[in-house]
Structures are given as structure tokens and as C-alpha cells.
Amino acid sequence: MKSLFIVAGEISGDSHAAALIEALPSSLEWKIDGLGGPRMVERAPAVEDWLADAAVLGLWEVLRHYSYFAEKMRTTVAAILEGNPDAVVLVDYPGFNLRLAKRLRAGGYGGKLIYYISPQVWAWKRGRIRTMARLLDRMICIFPFEKELYESSGLPTDFAGHPLVDSPEMAPARWEDREADLVALLPGSRSREIEALFPPMLEAARILRANRPQVRFATSGATPTLTERLGMLVAEAGMEDCIDVLPESSREVMRRAAAGVVASGTATLEAACLGMPYCLVYRVAWLTAFAARRVMKVRFLGIVNVIAGREVVRELLQERATGPEIASELERLLDDETGRETLRRDLREVVELLGGGGAHRNAARAVVTAIEGDS
């Protein structure tokens, strides 16, 4: 019997870890413990669902929960050292998982430490790569450029491919099935992002509407609460007649729209997979932006541009994330057929770099390889 302890601390990590568990070869018998969420528990009942407490955001929230995380770290380390599983699989969630890896090594854990879905240390803290190489036995990454980064530090690394490629919902929509005058306004999956980014999107919509009365807009929130907030902002702007606030997922909006504006994050990669031409926006407090610009190790914020190594998608950041700038770029995407087709082709090429499918199956195979010592 092979034993694993898997740690995920966010909704996305729970989803990826659950898919990894499902992809483990049935030819082997598995004992699986860990920390995660409801999807992991469905597949491995011994896993503890801690998602409600683990998925906190921001420095202040983490500090407020410091005693909880300190105790959870202590009990998790103790459980792993006592159970001595063949491998510990750490799924993203670097704030907790990298500290856990360090504690386990210090405590004498002799099994394999495997990281699945690399934290984006290549963007902010590349010095951590050397630390991870000392702590970990294997990295399983989902972006192609990450493999070389980790292997150059001596860490055996597998490129599993990106899980989005495997989702049937991510099949690109045909251009002829799109609504020619529909524009997607997607300000992100967090309340702070909506408050910062949706007002300039509304301003852009007003400008576009004045120039082309036939244009319509659609938006959708990541949760019912966020969708309700979007509806309130649309109503306050007096734009209910031209902006639909939809209960369906943002993916459905991307599938139908001829163009869109998308907040930096996973949604930008979803838009690329679905083939929707878009521009990227983001805005944070000026002090945060100042600090970020000093520590960023990549030229671009958008992952599509990072993968391509050039600005495939126009990035409107900070002082450029304004209504007029967004409106200008959306107008270009709607009117410039050649530019739009070039962007769609470039997006397809980026998506092709994400792997040929079977990401979780590839990751499961890498876990087995690490356990069996064939690196």
C-alpha cells in the first residue's frame, strides 16, 4: 500500500488535489490523508476539510488567524511525522506549504516532498527557488517555462500541463457563434477587485455606448454575493438597459462575447482557452504597485504574456486602467478585424504550449515515479 498526505488550502487547490487523487493508478492501493476541502473529502474521507479557515486572504486576515495557523502547523507536522507517509504532496498555497516543507525536513521526515502547482515565485521571489530545491524531492508544474527554472536549480521537475486544457468547458467557441456586439466586463473574483476595476469598466461601457448605440455588455460575479454587488453598481450607474448581470459563470460570458476586458488572474487564461479577444486590466493601491514594480522579476503581469514572452494581450495597469483607455482598446478589438484575428491566433498558440491534455493524470504519474525513486 502507498500512502500520501496531501495539503491544499484554497478552492482551486482542493479541485486540483481531488482530480490528482482520482487519477492515481488503481493498480496500486492507496491510503490518503491530508488537509483540503469537500472535493478531496469525497475521494478520500480521511482528509480534513479545513477550507473555511484556510482560505483567508491578505496580511491582516492571516495575522488575525495566526494562532489558528500556528496550531494547525504543529498538529500537521506531528501527524505526518507519526504517520510517515510515502510522500507529502503540497498543492499550491505557498504561505503554509513552504513552511510545512521546512518544518518536516527539520523534523526528520524521510519520505518524498512533492509540490504540485508551483507558487509563482518566478514572478516575485526567485531566490525561493533555491530554497525549494533544497527542501523538495520533486516539482510538478503547470506552465512550460517553469520546468527549466526549477531544473536549473537542481530540482527534478515535471511539466504536467495545465488542467484547464482538459476541461470540456474550455473548448474554444467558434467565431460565428459569438454575438458581434456583445462585450464582456469581467472585473475579477474578489470584492476588492470589483470595487477598483468595475467603475472604470462602466465608464468605458458608457463611452462605447455613446459611439455605437448597438453595443451591449455582460458581466458575472464569481459568487452570488459578488454578482449582486455588480448589479448594484450597474444600477447606480443607470446602465441596466445595456449591461446584463448574469447568474451564469464568466466562462459562458466569454464564450458568447466578441471582445472583453478581464482582470488579471486565472480568468485571463480562461479567456485565451475560449478564444475571446480581450485586454487585461489591474489596479492596486499606489504603494502596493510601487513595491510590486521593485520586486517583479517578469516583464508582464498577464500569464498569457509571460508564457509568450511578449505582449500578446494589451495590459492596462494602474494609471492606464481608465475608462477612456479601456474603451479605446475595446473599440480596436471590435473594429480592427486583422488585429483581432492576429490576437486570436496568438492566443491559440499560447494555449497549445499548455500541454496536450491529461494534466492530472501526468501529475499522478509523476507522484508515483517520485515515490518509487525513479527520477
As a whole number of angstroms, the distance between CA 251 and CA 8 comes to: 24
Residue 244 predicted with pLDDT over 70: yes
3-state class (DSSP) for residue 122: helix
What pLDDT, in 10s, does the model give residues 270-321?
A: 999 999 999 999 886 655 545 455 545 556 778 899 899 899 999 998 888 9
Share of the chain above pLDDT 70, in %: 90
In order of start, what are the domains of the chain with their CATH numbers? 2-162+355-372 (3.40.50.2000), 169-352 (3.40.50.2000)
Q: How confident is residue 375, by pLDDT bands cut at 50, 70 and 90?
A: very low
Q: Please state the pTM of the whole predicted model.
A: 0.81
232 burial type by CB count under 10 A (0-12 exposed, 13-18 middle, 19+ buried): exposed
Rounded to whole angstroms, how far apart are CA atoms 87 and 84?
8
Average pLDDT over residues 126-143: 87
Residue with cell 527539520: 106
CA 255 to chain centre: 19
User: Which pLDDT band, with edges at 50, 70 and 90, does 69 fall under?
Assistant: confident
Q: Which three cell numbers stand for residue 132?
A: 525549494
pLDDT at 202 over 60: yes
Measured distance CA(275)–CA(269) in Å, rounded? 10
Sign for the CA dihedral angle at 361, 364, 370, 374 comes to: negative
Position 293 scores a pLDDT of: 54
